[in-house]
Amino acid sequence: MTLHVYDHVTRSRRQFEPIHPGKVGMYVCGMTVQDKPHVGHMFAFVACDMVRRYLEYLGYEVTHIQNFTDIDDKIIAKATEEGIDFREVADRNIALYHEYAEVLNIQPAHEYPLVTGYIPEIIAFIDGLIAKDHAYASGGDVYFRVRSYDDYGFLSGRHVDDMRSGVRVEVGEKKDDPLDFALWKTAGDDEPGWESPWGRGRPGWHIECSVMSTKILGNHFDFHGGGRDLLFPHHENECAQSCCGTGEKFVNYWLHNGLLYLGDKKMSKSDGNFFAMGDVLAKFSPEVIRFYLLNAHFRSQIDYSEERLRASEAALDRLKRGAARLHEMLASTVDPVPEGLVSEPGEILAKAIRKHNRRFFAAMDDDFNSAGALGALFSLVRDLNQYYSAAGAAVLDAGILRDAWEFYAKGVDILGLLQGGLEALAGVGKNEIPAEILQLALDRDAARARKDWAAADSLRDEIQTKGFRVEDGPSGTQVHPS
Ligand SMILES: [Zn+2]
């Protein structure tokens, strides 16, 4: 199977095709930083990180851009309430985001554009929309003319004529049509603002993402992420602005993660229905939280409860113990093994590893189904336990156990499950041979298999430099403490 991703146009999964061979552009709607991140926010970023890791594993060079909305009515309200500059509010919450992202093992984006860093570009983009009659200025504001874009509603599957009833016009808005939305809003004298052809003001929310994504990634790019609650109107509006502004296609695949529910309501700061990340981290390790968030398909809804987090803690522990035991087993299979001799339980295990490996990648290829992939890792743990009880002390199967280890390590890495990757998985310190050294031995075997003697020699030297003795056994590289 090859990677298939859900496509909003055909409403089905279709084979992933990058716009530029070997490269992927991914824009993720980041936080509006009026307050501390909660678990619901971080879910979107963990999901996109998992997607990015898998794309990178497949060999794509991913450019990951994630913005921060650092100017907005709520940020201004917060700053006014505290009597400080809006930048202070934004900066302290951005710093918190980075802190949480790091412990949740989310790889840093390549760039974190800020709205306040893109004001001239935003003004120029709005100007372009006005020139094409997709937008109009009205009393210091600028609005996008929704009915000027025929495809409006395609992303969320709505029709413009059905939208009228739900639309609210705020006091002071001077729109030609209630459906139209603000691109630029006039700012009061005591509010932060920038000079523009339409007077002093600030950007509306949706325009920033159209401008920053296309400026950095190009007009047409591969992936756009964000929570399902952003689908309408935010992403629908982004599509309208971008397609009308650039005259080109905008995004190929939308990564809308499901929402985190608390009771029967979505986790939301504005409703007061949320768990702040800091409070959850005081009770559960970031590894457990990440595992919990990935143990469902990212597009599905997740119900948040401490009970479920505790279950995740136990499950992750099972996975870790399975790995530590495998590592111990590997460390004890250092004696030369007669070539071709494999125990019967070993044969069964070898077959199981191949099956779980296929299952893991079939799940990831199926629209990044991390829950299915985790299921394959747990099946490996179960089959390893069966192997240990059947094989007893007669360990002949170093090669097979290495295959199991390699699959384990790859799975953990792709899902970003453990901060320390392999080393953490092995519980290094308790064992004679560190996981890092075992990995070098595996790499050396792979180099030898492809007859890359230079690489094999340099890997041998590397292992020796790190204080271990290398021998060539019939089942591959053997490492001993020197
Ligand atoms: Zn956005």
**How far, in Å, is the centroid of ligand 1 from the Cα of 105?**
23
Burial (CB < 10 A; 0-12, 13-18, 19+), residue 479, is: buried
- Rounded Cα distance between 25 and 38, Å, is 26
83 in the same domain as 216: yes
**How far, in Å, is the centroid of ligand 1 from the Cα of 348?**
50
pLDDT band at 219 (very low <50, low <70, confident <90, very high): very high
Q: The tokens of 477 are what?
A: 């590289």
455 in the same domain as 367: yes
Choose one of 303, 334, 358: the last residue of a domain. Answer: 303
Q: The tokens of 356 are what?
A: 């779980």
**How far, in Å, is the centroid of ligand 1 from the Cα of 17?**
23
**How far, in Å, is the centroid of ligand 1 from the Cα of 206?**
6
361 in the same domain as 254: no
Number of H helices, E strands in the chain: 16, 15
**How far, in Å, is the centroid of ligand 1 from the Cα of 71?**
13
Give alpha helix (H) positions in 175-257.
205-217, 236-246
**How far, in Å, is the centroid of ligand 1 from the Cα of 133?**
23
325 in the same domain as 293: no
- 25-40 average pLDDT score: 94
* Domain count along the chain: 2
**How far, in Å, is the centroid of ligand 1 from the Cα of 115?**
11
Q: Note the pLDDT of residue 430.
A: 45
Residue 58 belongs to domain with CATH number: 3.40.50.620
**pLDDT at residue 170 above 50?**
yes
pLDDT band at 374 (very low <50, low <70, confident <90, very high): very high
372 in the same domain as 359: yes
- 315-336 average pLDDT score: 80
Q: Note the pLDDT of residue 395.
A: 55
Q: Note the pLDDT of residue 371.
A: 98
346 in the same domain as 278: no
**How far, in Å, is the centroid of ligand 1 from the Cα of 209?**
5
**pLDDT at residue 475 above 70?**
no
Measure the CA dihedral 119/123/128/129, to 10°: 100
**How far, in Å, is the centroid of ligand 1 from the Cα of 235?**
7
**How far, in Å, is the centroid of ligand 1 from the Cα of 116?**
14
Give alpha helix (H) positions in 251-305.
277-281, 286-294
Choose one of 265, 286, 303: the last residue of a domain. Answer: 303
277 in the same domain as 331: no
127 in the same domain as 147: yes
Residue 358 belongs to domain with CATH number: 1.10.730
- 125-137 average pLDDT score: 98
- 91-105 average pLDDT score: 96
In whole numbers, what is the pLDDT of the chain averaged over residues?
A: 89
311 in the same domain as 297: no
pLDDT in tens, 205-218: 999 999 999 999 99
Instruction: List phi, psi (to 5°) of 437.
Output: -70, -40
**How far, in Å, is the centroid of ligand 1 from the Cα of 34?**
15
pLDDT in tens, 406-459: 999 999 999 999 887 666 666 544 445 676 777 787 788 788 888 899 999 999
- Rounded Cα distance between 417 and 12, Å, is 29
Choose one of 281, 303, 325: the last residue of a domain. Answer: 303
296 in the same domain as 338: no
137 in the same domain as 228: yes
Strands 251-257, 221-227: pairing kind = parallel
User: Which residues form the domain of 170?
Assistant: 4-303
Q: Note the pLDDT of residue 142.
A: 97
Q: Note the pLDDT of residue 176.
A: 92
From residue 350, give the alpha-carbon distance in Å to each of 159, 360, 401, 448.
Answer: 54, 15, 8, 21
**How far, in Å, is the centroid of ligand 1 from the Cα of 231?**
10
From residue 10, give the alpha-carbon distance in Å to each of 241, 252, 253, 303, 366.
Answer: 22, 11, 11, 29, 16
**How far, in Å, is the centroid of ligand 1 from the Cα of 32?**
9
- 343-362 average pLDDT score: 93
317 in the same domain as 182: no
Angle between helix 236-246 and 119-131 (nearest 10):
70
**How far, in Å, is the centroid of ligand 1 from the Cα of 230?**
8
pLDDT in tens, 287-325: 999 999 999 999 999 998 899 999 999 999 999 888 888
**How far, in Å, is the centroid of ligand 1 from the Cα of 218?**
16
Neighbours of ion ligand 1 (CB under 5 A): 29, 209
Q: Which residue has the higher pLDDT, 445 or 148?
A: 148
Q: Note the pLDDT of residue 43.
A: 95
**How far, in Å, is the centroid of ligand 1 from the Cα of 70?**
12
